Amino acid sequence: MKKTCGAAVLAGVLILTACGGGSPSSETSGGLIPVEVGVIPIVDVAPIYLGVDQGFFEDEGLELTLTQAQGGAAIVPAVTSGQMEFGFSNVTSMVVGRSKGLPLKMIAPGGSSTGDVDADFASVMTLPDSGIAEIADLAGKKVGVNTLNNISDSTVSEAVKQAGGDYESIQFVEMAFPDMVAQLDNGTVDAIAAVEPFVTIAEASGAVPVFSNYAEPIDDLTVAVYFSSDTFVQENPETVEKFARAMAASHEYAEQNPDRVREILPTYTTLKPEVIEQLTLPRYPGEVNSASVEEVLRISMDRGLVEEEPDMDALLPAAR
């Protein structure tokens, strides 16, 4: 049975309930278990919207409320405090959060790098006359990232390090993804670490790619995950397993039906059709690549983002 989720939602809205509803402590009138999931209005989360639309979560006995937020800064505390049952965030934030004592547990994969440095949903972009032609050329340059001390700047600096460049001389400048193209054009920065749809938007404005910072420094990088809290996982193991199975089915469907991924995007983003048609989609894997998360940990410790190694067994998904 299909259940279509909401209409288009503005990306600038901090939090907005998209579909479903209810308390996790009781079943709905239809006998479904209501759970709330914090998501971000980006391409990476298309599978969960498809999963609702295709009835994969309903088949598992779950009724989802998809609540949009601007980023993990709002989602993580909502999950750890019990306001939401699950959330979406990048793996660096998960590693750093667990190292600081937050009770975070990965449940299912989110988007993954395509593995192609020339065709990925993340790309370091620059202007044609910038003098930046190779990865090592970023040494000493100003690079725009959406968040300092997180997945973008750490992967960029690691790629420059691996290319033999002076990675410590890079100056990272924090700016919102929608502002990056303008900041690149006016010379505030020499390059930007963008993700789709802003890669496609930057190319349309004349920017050129240097490399993908998600594909180059780490093999088969799991970029983001769906997570929960230790308490919820321990107290609701069956619900967690149901959610994980439904996400696996949703990712498999998205991988096999990229056209349906593009079709679902206007229902929860404000992306224009011409951008949706051209953008590069992430891979939607069936499981978290634990080796890539361990590599994220190594880089995070090398950059000083993590002072004490977290319990990775507690953080990584349970074997299924």
Average pLDDT for the chain: 90
Six-digit token string for 276:
């949706």
Is residue 28's pLDDT more than 80?
Answer: no
Asked whether the CA dihedral 315, 317, 318, 319 is positive or negative, the reply is negative
H-helix segments, the chain: 46-54, 56-59, 72-80, 91-99, 151-162, 180-185, 198-204, 230-235, 237-256, 258-264, 273-278, 290-302, 312-315
Six-digit token string for 9:
């939602």
Is residue 319's pLDDT more than 80?
Answer: no
What pLDDT does residue 98 have? 97
Percent residues over pLDDT 70 in the chain: 91
- Average pLDDT in the 120-129 region? 97
- Average pLDDT in the 54-80 region? 93
141, 171 Cβ separation under 8 angstroms: yes
Please, what are the domains in the chain? 16-113+221-315 (3.40.190.10), 122-211 (3.40.190.10)
Is residue 21's pLDDT more than 50?
Answer: no
Backbone phi and psi for residue 85, each to the nearest 5 degrees, phi listed first: -90, -35
What pLDDT does residue 17 have? 37
Interhelix angle 290-302/91-99, rounded to 10 degrees, is 60
Confidence of residue 318 (pLDDT cuts 50, 70, 90): confident
Q: Amino acid identity, residue 190? A: D
What pLDDT does residue 20 have? 40
Q: For the segment 291-300, what is each residue's pLDDT rounded down to a tens digit?
A: 999 999 999 9
Paired sense of beta strands 191-195 and 122-126, if any = antiparallel
Q: For the segment 200-221, what is each residue's pLDDT rounded down to a tens digit?
A: 999 999 999 999 999 999 999 9
Backbone phi and psi for residue 239, each to the nearest 5 degrees, phi listed first: -65, -40
What pLDDT does residue 303 have? 93
Q: What's the pTM value of the predicted model, to 2 decimals?
A: 0.88
Q: Amino acid identity, residue 258? A: P
Rounded to an integer, what distance in angstroms lies between the CA atom of residue 240 and that of residue 71?
22
